[in-house]
Amino acid sequence: MTTHPRLRSQPQVKRPCPDCGAALIKRSSNSEHLLLSKTFLVCKNAVCGATFAGIDEITHRLSPPSRPNVDIQLPYAPSAIRRGVLRVLGLPTDREDPLSVRQVSVGQENRL
């Protein structure tokens, strides 16, 4: 994926304007569903003045809730599933240094 030339020189913004690269400001949001809302954005650059409409959608869980809503059947993200399986197996997750859990030299892996 290539970056738009005007977006490269701009300081990092949460959501850049696709036309000029300035920050977009969320003007309003209308909830369409528990997991979906329509969002209206405006470019912070007064010279540009572009406005946009978009969709914000919750698609996956990253961690389990303390009290889940029984009306929502939301899948876990593949990365969250992978981390959970690694924890159950006692293997390092992405955030851990693999060598800090267990150091095995070449040729010794079959002896463990």
The chain-wide mean pLDDT, for the chain, equals 79
Q: Is the pTM of this model over 0.75?
A: no
* pLDDT for residue 20: 96
User: Residue 85 corresponds to which tokens in the numbers above?
Assistant: 């399986």
Question: With b meaning 16 or more CB within 10 Å and e meaning fewer, what string describes 55-88?
Answer: eeeeeeeeeeeeeeeeeeeeeeeeeeeebeeeee
- The residue with greater pLDDT, 32 or 12, is 32
Give residue 38's identity as a one-letter amino acid code.
Answer: K
Structural contact between residues 80 and 63, judged by C-beta atoms closer than 8 angstroms: yes
- How far apart CA 28 and CA 51 sit, in angstroms, is 12
The more confidently predicted of residues 12 and 46 is: 46
63-79: average pLDDT:
88
Q: Are 40 and 52 in contact (CB under 8 A)?
A: yes
